[in-house]
Amino acid sequence: MKIFAIGRNYVAHIEELGNERPDEPVVFTMPNTALLTNNKPFYYPDFSKDIHHEVELVLRICRNGKYIDEKFAHKYYDSIGVGIDLTARDLQAKAKKKGLPWAIAKGFNGSAPLSNEFIKVEDIPDVHNINFRLDINGEVKQAGNTNRMMFSFDAIIAYLSQFFLIQKGDLIFTGTPAGVGPVQIGDTMTAYFEDKKMLSIDVK
């Protein structure tokens, strides 16, 4: 099982971090040890003093494929969950300044909380119009809609498949909307797919 993640996929988020708007999806990967499931708590690591939340919709791949045409890409995922890409922003900034990879800033242990439940695509009226959000201690911090994505689910799958064999069980974190910010010990992060609570994580 591979975990792909897409950076800079919502314009407002690109602008809030002062990044350049990409012409192609920005791709990085995370090890499966980054996953945090079953609403287990996230333990703030000693190596960072600036962990940020980034709520994202997550595609679950249902069949193998490569060199997938975008018009057929919808056949390669069958359900959508919600995840949080927890980023060690201080480590990421240090790496970016030197032109180095973001691996430790994005893929450390427990950095990718993921909902146990995935919503079947057949039960979603329009995958191009999904609202999702992240609350911190009951206050909305991030709210997004898939109609604001620069690269659609199908475009992402088609792009990834040019370089990687997409396999059943792979996960794709599809990008975060604006509103990213720090989490603190004692916070509770709650993520929603429309109005359905999908994930609730305590920071310890």
pLDDT by residue (tens digit) across 114-126? 999 999 999 999 9
Note the pLDDT tens digit of each residue in 69-92: 999 999 999 999 999 999 999 999
Q: Do the Cβ atoms of 5 and 27 come closer than 8 Å? A: yes
What does the radius of gyration of the chain's CA atoms come to, in whole angstroms?
A: 16
Beta-carbon contacts of residue 126 (< 8 Å; ≥ 6 apart) = none
Predicted model pTM: 0.95
